[in-house]
Structure 1
Amino acid sequence: MIESIKNVDRWLLVAANNHHSPLLDKWMVFFSERFVWFPAYLVILIVLAYLYQQRALLLLPLLGASVGLADFISSRFFKPYFARLRPCHDPMLSASLNLANGCGGQFGFLSSHAANSFALVVFLGLILPRRYRVAKVLLLIWAMLVSYSRMYLGAHYPSDVLAGATLGSLLAWLTAELYRRGEARWWPGFSASIGKKIQLR
């Protein structure tokens, strides 16, 4: 059973990696590069600070905790504990892979990129009101592209990505729940309308 799962994992990885082109290589490297997204993260933080105003004093640290914990747990606990080689470091696979962006660290379970991006996206998806559903969909597409890029580049197996997304989503749910409880306790007189402090009757 386990060997069958591993075989499917390898097959999906090779399928994603083999469908490549010079243009697609550039796009996947772009989506996979963390530093490229720092300006976007800054814009998100500024917008959230503007919309939530005083409540941002609670929201932003919890959002940071969600992403920070996802990165710390995936990098410091899962990867050294399971010590699963990345596909690009696997001697049975590496020679046949298209490595458009090098290989990175030795171990790959689980994907920090997937954990971090889903921690951000799921947290915002749970916190933002329904009227921001277009933004939520765009953020989800971004997280999926980041995750897919890790398989395309031969850095992670699909199971690495799935496990990372699961970890990030669980941490996001936990921190979002902490935010909701804190908001209800410290700002009970305000509605959920973002950017406007409207007294409830």
Structure 2
Amino acid sequence: MRDALNRLDTDLFLWLNGQHAPWLDPIMVFATERNSWFPFYALLIGWLAVRYRKQALYYILTLVAAVVLSDQTASALLKPLTLRLRPCHEPALQPLIHPVLECGGLYGFASSHAANTFTLATGLWLLVGREYPQVKWVYLWAAFVAYSRIYVGAHYPLDILAGAGIGVLAAVLCTRIYRALQRRSSQQRTA
């Protein structure tokens, strides 16, 4: 079963990575580079600050805690635990893939990019999605960044799915903790 799943994952990776075009390479490099998104994060923080004033600090701290949790779960826990080579480090795959960047770290399960972007998308949705349903479009950004990791040869599809799942769970956990603390604080003020 495990071998069949790995083969399916590898085949899907090779197909997705093979869907490349010279004009798309710089777009995917931009998408996969962490520093590319700093202006987006600054705009998001600014929007939260303007819209939510004092509450924005708690929202931002909740999002930061969730991203740290997802990032550390993917990078510090799962990568050293599973020791699954990135496809770009797999000798048998190297002649078959389309490399766009240097490969990066040795291990790839689970994708930190996917974990962190899906944490942010889910955290925003849970915190402000009722009031601003358009934040659901942040999921499209998260999927784009996650797919860029397959495009550049850094992750298998299961690395991405696992990272996305970790991100969703981290955001759910941290927003629930925030809401519980918020309720407790509110009850103490009224008591």
Which TM bucket (shorter chain)? over 0.9
**How far apart are residue 57 of structure 1 and its match?**
2.9
Q: Distance in 1 between matches of 2:51 and 2:173?
A: 22
Following superposition, the deviation at residue 123 of structure 1 comes to 0.5
* C-alpha displacement of 1:104: 0.7
What is the CA distance between 1:187 and its match in structure 2? 4.8
Contact 2:129 2:135 in 1 (8 A): no
Q: Secondary structure at the match of 1:80?
A: helix
**Within the alignment, does 1:58 sit opposite 2:47 as a pair?**
no
Corresponding residue number in structure 1 for 2:21: 21
| CA distance in 2 between partners of 1:160 and 1:148 (Å) | 11
Normalised by the length of structure 1, the TM-score is: 0.88
1:168-187 matches, within 5 Å, as 168-187=167-186
Q: Counterpart amino acid of 2:141?
A: W
Alpha-carbon contact 1:55-1:183 (below 8 Å) kept: no
Q: Deviations over 1:86-129 (max 9, x none)?
A: 00000110111110112111100010000000110000011114
Shift of 1:182: 2.7
Aligned twin of 1:145 = 144
Written as runs of structure 1 = structure 2, the 5 A alignment for 1:49-128 is 49-128=49-128
For 2:160 and 2:129, locate their aligned partners in 1 and report how far apart those are by CA, in whole Å.
28
Structure 2 distance, partners of 1:129, 1:120, is: 12
SS in 1 for 2:179: helix
The Cα of 1:163 is off from its aligned counterpart by 0.5
User: Shift in Å at residue 183 of structure 1?
Assistant: 2.8
TM-score normalised by length of structure 2: 0.93
Gaps of 5+ in 1: 189-201
Please give the secondary structure, in 2, of the residue aligned with 1:22.
coil
Shift of 1:186: 3.2
Letter in 2 for 1:170: L
Map Cα deviations across residues 20-78 of structure 1 (whole Å, 9 max, x no partner): 11111111111111100011101111111222222223221111011112112211111
The AA in structure 1 aligned to 2:99 is L
Runs of 4 or more consecutive aligned structure 1 residues displaced over 4 Å after TM superposition: none
* Cα pair 2:28 2:152 within 8 Å, conserved: yes
Task: Return the alpha-carbon distance in structure 2 between the equivalents of residues 125 and 46 of structure 1.
Answer: 17
Distance 2:181 2:45 in 1: 19
Aligned length: 187
1:59 to 1:147, Cα distance in 2 relative to 1, 3 A: same
Q: In 2 relative to 1, CA 186–53 (structure 1 residues): closer, same or farther, beyond 3 Å?
A: farther
Letter in 1 for 2:126: L
Tell me which moved more, 146-155 or 174-183.
Answer: 174-183
* Residue number in structure 2 paired with 1:37: 37
- 2 CA distance for matches of 1:152 and 1:37? 18
How high is the sequence identity, in percent, across the aligned residues? Answer: 43
Q: Cα RMSD between the aligned structures?
A: 1.3
Greater mean deviation of Cα atoms: 53-62 or 111-120: 53-62
Structure 2 distance, partners of 1:24, 1:11, is: 21
Unaligned runs of 5+ in 2: none
- Cα distance change on mapping 1:181 and 1:9 into 2, 3 Å: same
